């Protein structure tokens, strides 16, 4: 299924001699620092404005928690997505000052996002997401029309797509770019360069509001999706297909059918929230199976030689050091 096994070898060998393990750890710490700082800044600033606005409208912004109320509101969701810009800022600093490389070196050997890979990754995940939603509907047919009107949905469509692209691209650049590329340059075993970033990415999706069974099923599905994204980078040596696949996955939840109560402000339809009560252990197992099967089907769509959506390797060679 891998047409060009050297694609990833070219990608993993692009770092210079300043990509040592201590520098990689320092760079990761810098990225986390920027991410946390930007998140706190936009969160506190947004919450303050939200409190003032709610008070001017005669409401009680502190009832139920000001921060929680803000994050559950449409401006709060947009702000939360914008906070991922902190990852890009951290990566810019780490690549420029720690590794002395251009930021675009993380994208691929050509230092350009593969548009073909992006479109195919997006299309494949939209197809399998539709299948996933049909199967989830068969499991739990509780779907209601969302509170957002069609005119408002269309108004927010471009900002949501743009900010979701910011979110997913930053995560891919960090987990499948900076960490995976840097570790692969220093270690030959995929149990280091693939497993460690995948585990970090998966652990970010733990929800304290969900039951242990639902958390386990969600993490299993996320782990399968992380495997898909890692395989795409390994096959293409470029983040383009991973960008498209991740974008398709998140846009489905943000704009079409939401399974999370805290992120359903812009969704046309709301399914039974995963953090809600009433889910059984057998439900959790079936949810995990659906997620894993759809990720595997996406892998087939994107990697099978006869698939019209088969992604290609990034064969362009980057220019001199920047």
Q: For position 57, what pLDDT does the model report?
A: 63
Query: pLDDT tens, 76-108?
Result: 888 889 999 999 999 999 999 999 999 999 999
Query: pLDDT tens, 257-295?
Result: 998 887 788 999 999 888 777 788 898 999 999 999 999
**Strand arrangement of the beta sheet that strand 143-145 belongs to:** 143-145, 269-271, 257-258
- The whole-angstrom separation of Cα 146 and Cα 156 is 14
- The whole-angstrom separation of Cα 243 and Cα 241 is 5
DSSP 255: I
For the chain, the first-to-last Cα distance in angstroms comes to: 34
Q: For position 317, what pLDDT does the model report?
A: 52
Q: For position 214, what pLDDT does the model report?
A: 87
Q: For position 142, what pLDDT does the model report?
A: 84
- The whole-angstrom separation of Cα 157 and Cα 268 is 11
Q: For position 161, what pLDDT does the model report?
A: 96
Secondary structure (DSSP) of 268-296? SEEE--TTSS---HHHHHHHHHHHHHHHH
The pLDDT profile of the chain, 322 residues, written as one tens digit per residue, is: 445 568 899 999 999 898 999 999 999 999 999 999 999 998 888 887 777 776 676 666 555 566 667 777 788 888 889 999 999 999 999 999 999 999 999 999 999 999 999 999 999 999 999 999 999 998 888 899 988 999 999 999 999 999 999 999 999 999 999 999 999 999 999 999 999 999 999 999 887 777 888 889 999 999 999 999 999 999 999 999 999 999 999 999 999 999 888 778 899 999 988 877 778 889 899 999 999 999 999 999 999 999 999 999 987 654 443 3
Q: For position 319, what pLDDT does the model report?
A: 44
Which helix (H) or strand (E) covers residue 150, if one does?
helix 150-172
Secondary structure (DSSP) of 79-120? HHHHTTHHHHHHHHHIIIIIS---GGGGTBTTSS--HHHHHH
């Amino acid at each position: 299924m891998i047409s060009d096994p050297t694609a990833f070898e070219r990608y993993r060998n692009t770092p210079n001699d300043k990509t040592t393990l201590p520098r990689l750890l320092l760079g990761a710490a810098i990225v986390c620092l920027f991410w946390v700082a930007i998140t706190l800044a936009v969160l506190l600033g947004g919450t303050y404005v939200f409190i003032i606005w709610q008070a001017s409208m005669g409401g009680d912004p502190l009832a139920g928690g000001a921060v929680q109320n803000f994050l559950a509101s449409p401006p709060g969701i947009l702000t939360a997505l914008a906070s991922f810009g902190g990852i890009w800022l951290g990566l810019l600093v780490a690549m420029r000052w720690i590794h002395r490389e251009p930021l675009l070196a993380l994208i691929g050997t050509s230092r350009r996002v593969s548009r073909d890979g992006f479109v195919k990754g997006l299309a494949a995940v939209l197809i399998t997401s539709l299948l996933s939603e049909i199967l989830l509907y068969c499991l739990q047919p509780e779907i209601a029309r969302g509170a957002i009107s069609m005119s408002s949905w269309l108004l927010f469509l471009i900002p949501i797509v743009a900010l979701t692209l910011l979110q997913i691209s930053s995560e891919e650049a960090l987990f499948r770019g900076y960490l995976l590329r840097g570790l692969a340059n220093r270690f030959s075993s995929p149990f280091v360069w693939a497993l460690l970033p995948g585990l970090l990415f998966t652990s970010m999706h733990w929800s304290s509001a969900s039951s242990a069974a639902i958390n386990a099923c969600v993490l299993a599905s996320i782990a399968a999706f992380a495997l898909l994204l890692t395989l795409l980078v390994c096959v293409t040596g470029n983040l383009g297909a991973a960008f498209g696949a991740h974008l398709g996955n998140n846009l489905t939840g943000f704009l079409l059918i939401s399974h999370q109560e805290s992120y359903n402000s812009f969704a046309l339809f709301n399914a039974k929230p995963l953090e809600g009560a009433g889910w059984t252990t057998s439900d959790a197992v079936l949810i995990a199976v659906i997620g894993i099967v759809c990720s595997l089907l996406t892998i087939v769509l994107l990697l099978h030689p006869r698939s019209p959506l088969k992604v290609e390797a990034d064969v362009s060679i980057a220019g001199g050091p920047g």
